[in-house]
Chain A
Amino acid sequence: MDIKIIFLIIIYSILIQNFVLSRFLGLCPFFGCSQKLSSAVGMGLAVIFVMVLASSITWILYTYLLDPATSVMGFLATDGVAPDLTFLRTIAFILVIASLVQFIEMFLQKKVPPLYRALGIFLPLITTNCAVLGVAVLNIDGFSAIGLDGKLTFLQSLVQGFAGGVGFLMVLVLMAGLREKLELETIPESMKGIPVAFIMGGLMAIAFMGFSGLSI
């Protein structure tokens, strides 16, 4: 296992191709859950957990059930060749992610009720969070920027899931910090809340573009 590839995946997923600010995935919790630092941190950690687990389970599912090259479903066909079920990946991944998020919801409601209430509706919305589905699909499609053209290996998928989540958490915390400071400023009435948050997000995205010149 080339340690350089792992390192590259981490750097790219967190900074250069940040899931929120460069790939524009996961904007719903980015704008909806970032008013307070405490709920932003909670949301970020939940997303890291979901991304890592989703990456691993969907990778296993794809490799051994859907991908004809490595599938164990060969016994179904007469000629021993497994059917090509890669078209099912979207719905199968969503199934996995939905179950995972439901599990986390139950866990939080029992163990950490204040966080459960603070996240509110945004916790089940992680299910439809394109960042989570995005990382699962990106694991399959490969990472062309680093030179990985095919499907990532299991370890690489895990790392991408984890690093993507960390990048998401970092940006959410930055946004929450900025928005808490913004509460003390005078803003025109029509710009308060989401409009000025969008402008801030755009400026942050421009700032993160500066990382695109980073070459390792």
Chain B
Amino acid sequence: MITVVSSVMILGVIGIFFGACLAYASKIFYVQLDPRVEKIADTLPGANCGACGAAGCFSYAEGVVAGTFPPNACTPGGKDVAAIIGEIMGCAVEEVTPMLAVVHCKGGRKEARQKFEYMGVQDCKAAMLLAGGNKACEYGCLGFGSCVAVCPFQAIEMGDNGLPVVYPELCTGCGLCVKACPRHIISLIPQTQKIYLACANPEKGKAVKGVCEVGCISCGICANKNNNPSGDIVMEGGLPRIDYHDNLRILPGATRCPSDSFVIEVDYPPVTYDADKCDGCEGKPKPLCVKICPSKGCLTFDAEQKKAVYDSGKCVGCELCISECPVVAFK
């Protein structure tokens, strides 16, 4: 009996004592947590990639509630997360264009020369330390995958040719690969842009051709007024600078590149050609459509029939022929 009484008493006293201590301590160590911080932190992707500029997802949530970060800064979260955050905070959210990472180099193991065989640590930053890398082109992609290692969404992987491949469905535009590349040849472009220059070498002509088959030789054909009437491509320091507005406007310039330095992922449908309407542009040395067409072999002039011949397989869908043809033979 005495055992029961004393054990109950002792445990009771200990429990009350510690309970009181903890209650007192909780007052001293009281942490004011805005419940909105928890709610926002739950909606974030949780990858702690740092694209928003904060030190991690939870810090970004705290920053949004404190007002130091805008609600649409989470690029991996995109529109959906921004909308939820806007709802929680009770404020309007601006639209941010979703971005995609692209690698400005097309010279893989097949196209680009190597200076020497590199047998060190298989990392681009490490390779750069040894005589600036083993690629003959000083500006091109080294292909050891520093970008692949840093991506928190596994959206970039090393392809067979020694060039990284970006998966657009997975890429959130967080920008970690941009910072990781020691040659600074990865950049973010709007997701709607399907044409970009895949070369970062500003040198001219033979110097580029000697190191890579598909390097930009700074010829300026893409920026030529005829090929690029909208002026979206401007030659700057040996490389064309593209103003991203509309894929169609830069399509002719990109397809006319003699080095095949552009990556064109746009898939425009070919035009329809009505041969009956064609009059062969009488009185002109060459039919207007044949002259303007950027794709080699798509439109040719049949001198016997005195008509233009159209090969839809080669058509890139730039639709320049539609505006050029005086008899509206194209649609």
Contacts and interface: CB of A to CB of B under 8 A. Distances in A.
Interface in A81-129: 82-85, 88, 91-92, 95-96, 99, 102-103, 106-107, 109-111, 117
A96 B25 contact: no
B25 A83 contact: no
Interface string B10-36: 110011001101100110011100000
Interface of A is mostly: helix
Given A92-B11, A107-B29, A109-B31, A84 B3 contact: yes
A92 B14 contact: yes
B303 interface: no
Given A85-B7, A92-B10, A76 B2 contact: yes
A196 interface: no
A103 B29 CA distance: 9
A85 B25 contact: no
A77 interface: yes
A108 to B, nearest CB: 9
19 contacts: A61-B14, A65-B10, A73-B6, A73-B10, A76-B2, A85-B3, A88-B10, A92-B10, A95-B11, A95-B14, A95-B18, A96-B18, A103-B21, A106-B25, A107-B25, A107-B29, A110-B30, A110-B31, A111-B29
Contacts of B18: 95-96, 99
B6 A76 contact: yes
Interface of A: 61, 65-66, 73, 76-77, 82-85, 88, 91-92, 95-96, 99, 102-103, 106-107, 109-111, 117
B244 interface: no
Nearest to A106: B29
Contact of B6 (A85, A92, A96): A85
Given A83-B3, A99-B21, A91 B29 contact: no
Nearest to A105: B29
Contacts of A99: 18-19, 21-22
A77 B9 CA distance: 14
B5 interface: yes
B29 A83 contact: no
Given A77-B2, A84-B3, A96-B18, A106 B10 contact: no
A83 B26 CA distance: 35
Nearest to A103: B25
Given A85-B3, A85-B10, A88-B7, A95 B26 contact: no
A91 B11 contact: yes
A88 B29 contact: no
A66 B11 CA distance: 10
B139 interface: no
Contacts of A91: 11
Contacts of B301: none
Contacts of A73: 6, 10
B11 A83 contact: no
A110 B14 CA distance: 26
B69 interface: no
B242 to A, nearest CB: 38
A152 B14 CA distance: 23
A83 B21 contact: no
Contacts of A92: 10-11, 14
A110 to B, nearest CB: 4
A1 to B, nearest CB: 29
Given A76-B5, A85-B10, A92-B10, 10 more contacts: A76-B2, A82-B6, A83-B2, A83-B7, A84-B3, A85-B6, A92-B14, A99-B19, A102-B22, A106-B25
Contacts of A66: 10
B14 A83 contact: no
A80 B95 CA distance: 81
Contacts of B58: 117
A66 B19 CA distance: 20
Nearest to B27: A106
B151 to A, nearest CB: 15
